[in-house]
Amino acid sequence: MQPMDQEQDNTALPILIAPHKTLKTKARPIRPDDMDLVRALTPRMFSAMYKAPGIGLAAPQIGESLRLAVIDLAAGEKPAPMVLINPEILTVSEEWATREEGCLSLPGQYADVSRPARVKVRYTELDGSLRHIEADGLMAACLQHEIDHLDGVLFVDHLSVLKRNMLMRKLAKDQRQKALA
Ligand code: ZN
Q: Which of 88, 125, 134, 146 is catalytic?
A: 146
* Cα-to-chain-centroid distance, residue 70: 7
Convert the pLDDT of each residue in 142-171 to its tens digit.
999 999 999 999 999 999 999 999 999 999
Q: Would the pLDDT of 5 be above 90? A: no
Convert the pLDDT of each residue in 84-121 to its tens digit.
999 999 999 999 999 999 999 999 999 999 999 999 99
Q: Would the pLDDT of 7 be above 60? A: no
- Determine the distance separating the centroid of ligand 1 and the alpha carbon of 24, expressed in angstroms: 12
- Determine the distance separating the centroid of ligand 1 and the alpha carbon of 61, expressed in angstroms: 8
Q: Would the pLDDT of 72 be above 80? A: yes
Q: Are 122 and 67 in contact (CB under 8 A)?
A: no
In this prediction, residue 78 carries a pLDDT of 81
Please name the CATH architecture into which domain 21-180 falls.
Alpha-Beta Complex (3.90)
Q: Would the pLDDT of 75 be above 80? A: no
| CB atoms near residue 128 (< 10 Å) | 9
Question: Cα–Cα distance between 8 and 77 in angstroms, integer?
Answer: 26
Neighbours of ion ligand 1 (CB under 5 A): 103
Task: Tell me the domain boundaries of the chain.
Answer: 21-180
Question: Cα–Cα distance between 82 and 173 in angstroms, integer?
Answer: 34
As a whole-number percent, the residues of the chain with pLDDT over 90 amount to 87
- Determine the distance separating the centroid of ligand 1 and the alpha carbon of 53, expressed in angstroms: 12
Taking alpha carbons only, the member of 42, 31, 108 closest to residue 70 is: 42
| CB atoms near residue 84 (< 10 Å) | 25
